[in-house]
Amino acid sequence: MKVGLLTGGGDCPGLNAVIRAVVQRIHNEGGSCIGLLEGWRGLVKGASMPLDVHETDGIIARGGTILGSSRTNPFKNPDTDVPAVKANFASMGLDALVAIGGDDTLGVAYRLHRDHGMPMVGVPKTIDNDLMVTDFTFGFDTAINIVVEAVDRLRTTTESHRRVMVVETMGRHAGWIACFSGIATAADYILVPEVPIDVDHVVEVLKRRRAEGKNYGIVLVSEGAEFPDQGSVTIEAETDAFGHVRLGGIGNALAKMIEDRTGYETRSVVLGHLQRGGPPSAYDRVLATRLGLAAAELVVKQRFGTMVALSGTKIIETTLAEGVAATKKLDMEYYRQAQTFFR
């Protein structure tokens, strides 16, 4: 048995733990693994590296991915790239492929399995925690802890200068990071893509807090949060290979509005890729390892067209079709509880 692995889309802490687990499990079965470099680009270009137990055993603590990543989409150029994917898969002598990624990466795996019969198994990955069928994804816990640490540090300078600080987090379509981080840092207001921004209410809450004696403010906003009747705030209009625009700027726009309406000195901070970087938390190392072992087990059993997921505390098998069917929005129970503090 010869198994390929790739990591696609945005990197996140825990990817290397998945790689380590798959390699170990397949090795135990007498098989071998190779890594496709830079996501689907590696299979399009035929770029790979060997993966063995000795060299991957110590990578569990490393952030990012030793295989590299990209936002390459073979179906953007289907007449050339899809045949290349199939040809390179065959020439490498692969029996299966474990695709580790978010909805875009897993969507490609699903189409290659459905339309071309390629043996695919998926592992869900996203710091945004917005993938269906899995309760939580590895990388999310690390990301929110990074945001919490950043806000804790920003709080002291914000309080010293009697400012309001608007912190922009990742979260294109779902507000999991902003909501969890906002609760954990006692933010004065949390803004998420699921709820249109009510600037009047944000200002009202900040003014009330100031009148009650709190001389600074912390506002957390997801990059995908929107003002009513407006689209997302973007850095540029161009889209990537999967049709996504590059979000960014909502924090700056909101900070200006707050300062104009309150007179309070207001600054914004965009945490950006800090949320993706560094070593994974212990929770993410454990979750990523469990998902990797379960994915390898599906390969051994030849359960293709499937993916692994977390349900409660159990690792389950589901289908790639279910996993990429829709975006998982924020569970609004969390947001309603957070609203207790900024009604």
pLDDT of residue 279: 95
Which residue type, as a one-letter code, is found at position 139?
G
With DSSP H G I counted as helix, E B as strand and the rest as coil, what are the percentages for the chain, rounded to 5?
45, 20, 35
Q: Is 128 a catalytic residue?
A: yes
Same fold, 2-138+280-323 and 140-276: yes
Helix, strand or coil for residue 268? strand
d(CA 180, CA 193): 14
* pLDDT tens-digit profile, the chain (343 residues): 999 999 998 899 999 999 999 999 999 999 999 999 999 999 999 999 999 999 999 999 999 999 999 989 999 999 999 999 999 999 999 999 999 999 999 999 999 999 999 999 999 999 999 999 999 999 999 999 999 999 999 999 999 999 999 999 999 889 999 999 999 999 999 999 999 999 999 999 999 999 999 999 999 999 999 999 877 777 766 766 666 666 768 999 999 999 999 999 999 999 988 988 999 999 999 999 999 999 999 999 999 999 999 999 999 999 999 999 999 999 999 999 999 998 8
d(CA 134, CA 86): 29
d(CA 341, CA 343): 6
What sign for the dihedral angle of Cα 99, 100, 106, 108? Answer: negative
Domain 2-138+280-323 fold: Rossmann fold (3.40.50)
Taking the domains of the chain in order of start, what are their residue ranges? 2-138+280-323, 140-276
Task: Please count the CA atoms within 13 angstroms of the CA of 296 that sit on its side-chain side.
Answer: 27
pLDDT of residue 230: 79
Q: What is 140-276's CATH number, 1.10.10.10, 3.30.70.260, 3.40.440.10, 3.40.50.460?
A: 3.40.50.460
pLDDT of residue 243: 66
DSSP 10: S
pLDDT of residue 239: 66
pLDDT of residue 264: 96
CA angle in degrees (0–180, nearest 5) for 80-81-87: 95
CB atoms within 10 A of CB 27: 17
| Active-site position among 81, 128, 130, 141 | 128
d(CA 68, CA 74): 17
Best CA proximity match to 135, nearest among 304, 336, 339, 290: 290
pLDDT of residue 235: 73
Best CA proximity match to 307, nearest among 299, 14, 8: 299
Structure tokens at 29: 């079965």
